[in-house]
Amino acid sequence: MLAQMRKGTLQYCVLALLADKERYGFDLVRSLAETDGMVTSEGTIYPLLSRLRRDGLVETTWRESTSGPPRRYYRLTKAGAAALAAFKGEWGPFRDAVDHFVERKS
Amino acid sequence: MSTTPDKLVERYLKHLEVELDDLPRDRRREIVDEIAGHIAEARAGLEHESEADVRNILEVLGDPADIAEEARERFEIRPPHPMQPFKPGWMEVAALVLLLVGAIVLPLFGWVIGVVLLWVSTAWNVRDKIIGTLFWPGGLGFSLFLLLFAASSSLSGSGGDACPVQPSTAPETDCVSSGGSSSSTNVLGIVLTTVVLVTPIITTAYLAYRLRRQPASAVA
């Protein structure tokens, strides 16, 4: 159950991380993994990134790196920003509603 | 130092590639490339790389099977069917047996039933089915019938006006023109006998072989 919720919300966490700046895969994955409980195995982010790219929610550019081979940077598209905004609009009330019941002190 | 960390990474990526086998090629490439890049970035960040470091990197990335499962879910690709290895059923076995010797047990009909089963079965493709039908109509039964017919007609003498294999082979001038040299007729007879007997056996063996190969082509 929680695994399914995590899976469903993970893509919005990725979109949110890309909202302020573009990031390359390794950077993105490490940022997600820093927060406990979000990612169990880092490698599973890459299929998601591939899917988001194909759905047009993110786009990618290769950039030279000073420390090694070129990196593929991910950036939010207009559609990605819209999807993120729509999710935020629903997530707040939903989270509050769940909290209202499960955090209620008797 | 040793090349063990490189070997570990190589093995991991190969494993991942195999696990992602049922994904479209460009997506498989993209995911494998990105993960290879991730590993390279993680290794570049290490001060003194040890084998344990590399093992940790791979462990945190996760089991290739899990990554592949995630990919299938994200791309809505159905997981490989658990029954994938194709098990030839009674129908395929019956088809092969009847095609080969059905006409001996049950003249004509035995073979016809074999052909029907051959075409009904999903185990063979159309090309195989055509081959199975045309080589050799009637199977060994018809071959034996031809040989018996040839033997009896050559016994009854009159050298040559009965063509032993007329119904099923291209017109043989040798056969029609009476009184060619008997040695060439003999050689021809032996060749035709061999062809007539061996063709249905080869075809049956080919169909059985295609049956074994089927899982690979069924997946593709």
Say how many domains are in chain B: 2
Interface probe with A: pick from B43, B60, B77, most Cβ of A within 10 Å: B60
- ipTM attached to this prediction: 0.90
Of B80, B76, B75, B115, the C-alpha closest to B207 is: B115
Boundary (domain end) residue, out of B74, B96, B118: B74
Given B30, B40, B67, which is nearest A43 (Cβ)? B67
- Please give the pLDDT value at position B219: 40
Q: What residue ranges define each of the domains in chain A, with the CATH number in brackets? A: 2-102 (1.10.10.10)
Min Cα–Cα distance to chain B from A39, Å = 10
Residue B80 lies in a domain: no
- Please give the pLDDT value at position B141: 81
Residue B103 lies in a domain: yes
Tens digits of per-residue pLDDT, B186-212? 788 888 888 888 888 888 888 888 887
- Please give the pLDDT value at position B213: 60
State mean pLDDT over B8-19: 96
- Please give the pLDDT value at position B85: 54
Residue B81 lies in a domain: no
Q: Which residue has the higher pLDDT, B176 or A97?
A: A97
- Please give the pLDDT value at position B182: 65
Q: What is the pTM of this model?
A: 0.57
The answer to whether the CB atoms of A42 and B30 lie below 8 A apart is no
Residue B41 lies in a domain: yes
Boundary (domain end) residue, out of B27, B52, B74: B74
Q: Which residue has the higher pLDDT, B2 or A69?
A: A69
How far is CA B170 from each of CA B112, B132, B142, rounded to the nearest angstrom? 23, 19, 16
Given A26, A29, A47, which is nearest B74 (Cβ)? A47
Of B43, B61, B2, the C-alpha closest to A69 is: B43
State mean pLDDT over B105-130: 86
User: Is there a single domain that holds both residue B150 and residue B121?
Assistant: yes
Residue B140 lies in a domain: yes
Tens digits of per-residue pLDDT, B138-175? 888 888 888 888 778 776 654 444 445 445 444 544 44
Burial of residue A85 (CB within 10 Å: 0-12, 13-18, 19+) is exposed
Whole-angstrom distance, CA of residue B100 vs CA of residue A41 = 56
Burial of residue B88 (CB within 10 Å: 0-12, 13-18, 19+) is middle
User: Is there a single domain that holds both residue B114 and residue B48?
Assistant: no
Given A41, A46, A68, which is nearest B40 (Cβ)? A68
Residue B82 lies in a domain: no
Q: Is the pLDDT of residue B176 over 50?
A: no
User: Is there a single domain that holds both residue B68 and residue B95?
Assistant: no
Q: Is the pLDDT of residue B76 over 70?
A: yes
User: Is there a single domain that holds both residue B120 and residue B48?
Assistant: no
Boundary (domain end) residue, out of B24, B39, B74: B74
Backbone conformation region of residue B193, classed left if phi is above 0, alpha if psi is from -120 to 50, else beta: alpha
> pLDDT digit of tens for each residue in chain A (106 aa)?
778 888 889 999 999 999 999 999 999 999 998 888 788 789 999 999 999 999 999 999 999 988 788 999 999 999 999 999 999 999 999 999 999 999 886 5
User: Is there a single domain that holds both residue B158 and residue B66?
Assistant: no
Cα within 13 Å of Cα(B183), Cβ side:
0
As a residue count, chain B comes to 220
- Where in the sequence is the domain holding B151, given as residue range(s)? 87-220
Given a contact cutoff of 8 angstroms between Cβ atoms, the answer to whether B210 and B92 are in contact is no
- Residue A63, chain B, CB below 8 Å: the answer is no
User: Is there a single domain that holds both residue B128 and residue B212?
Assistant: yes
The answer to whether the CB atoms of B71 and A71 lie below 8 A apart is no
- Please give the pLDDT value at position B98: 87
User: Is there a single domain that holds both residue B202 and residue B110?
Assistant: yes
User: Is there a single domain that holds both residue B26 and residue B119?
Assistant: no
User: Is there a single domain that holds both residue B115 and residue B213?
Assistant: yes
Given a contact cutoff of 8 angstroms between Cβ atoms, the answer to whether B74 and A50 are in contact is yes
- Please give the pLDDT value at position B2: 56
Average pLDDT over chain B, rounded to whole?
80
- Residue A68, chain B, CB below 8 Å: the answer is yes
Residue B138 lies in a domain: yes
- Please give the pLDDT value at position B39: 95
| Sheet strands side by side (includes A68-76) | A23-24, A68-76, A58-65
The answer to whether the CB atoms of A47 and B70 lie below 8 A apart is yes
Interface probe with B: pick from A4, A24, A28, A42, most Cβ of B within 10 Å: A42
Min Cα–Cα distance to chain A from B20, Å = 10
State mean pLDDT over B110-117: 89
User: Is there a single domain that holds both residue B66 and residue B104?
Assistant: no
User: Is there a single domain that holds both residue B99 and residue B59?
Assistant: no
User: Is there a single domain that holds both residue B31 and residue B116?
Assistant: no
Instruction: Count A/B contacts: CB-CB distance under 8 Å.
Output: 69
Min Cα–Cα distance to chain A from B19, Å = 13
Residue B79 lies in a domain: no
- Please give the pLDDT value at position B69: 93
Given B16, B27, B37, which is nearest A25 (Cβ)? B37
